[in-house]
């Protein structure tokens, strides 16, 4: 049996593999956000990466319901930040909705006594959805910036308003 901080299981190698998978995914999202040259996307990716690292530490240090309390706290902070960002640009609205759903889901599962495995399974899929959204927005902004360089007249439709900043 091996331990990572306070979490002791027989599957330490599996835990480290999952950490490596998500660390790679987060680094790709943050890297692409810098390539997209968007302050908003870069801020969102950086905040989500920092929250992931803090949540990872909390997962291995705290056991059970204490971790879910930290997860709700982190999701609340992120949802509030993205709600404020969504007032100015469309990009942040889906992120706010994802984190509001996570808050409601974790609160419901802890109130009902849902299985920890299935709760974590759903939270991981929502985190992957969040990272895929950030990666997609980064690619979209990179594409629009390249298209803007090729055209003689500026792009002024919804695409510019979506990826502004």
pLDDT tens digits along 22-57: 999 999 999 999 999 889 999 999 999 999 999 988
Over 90: is that where the pLDDT of 136 sits? yes
Over 60: is that where the pLDDT of 1 sits? no
Between CA 86 and CA 19 the distance in angstroms is 30
Between CA 116 and CA 55 the distance in angstroms is 16
| pLDDT mean over 110-128 | 92
């Amino acid at each position: 049996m091996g331990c990572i901080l306070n979490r002791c299981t027989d599957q330490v190698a599996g835990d480290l593999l999952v950490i490596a998978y998500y660390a790679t995914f987060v680094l790709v999202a943050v890297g692409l956000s810098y390539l997209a040259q968007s302050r908003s996307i870069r801020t969102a990716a950086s905040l989500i990466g920092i929250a992931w690292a803090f949540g990872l530490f909390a997962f291995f240090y705290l056991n059970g319901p204490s971790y879910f309390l930290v997860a709700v706290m982190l999701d609340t902070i992120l949802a509030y930040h993205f709600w404020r960002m969504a007032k100015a640009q469309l990009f942040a609205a889906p992120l706010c909705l994802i984190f509001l759903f996570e808050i409601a889901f974790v609160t419901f599962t802890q109130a009902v006594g849902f299985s920890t495995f299935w709760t974590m399974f759903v939270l991981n899929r929502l985190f992957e959805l969040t990272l895929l959204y950030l990666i997609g927005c980064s690619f979209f902004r990179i594409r629009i910036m390249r298209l803007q360089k090729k055209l003689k007249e500026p792009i002024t439709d919804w695409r510019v308003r979506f990826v502004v900043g």
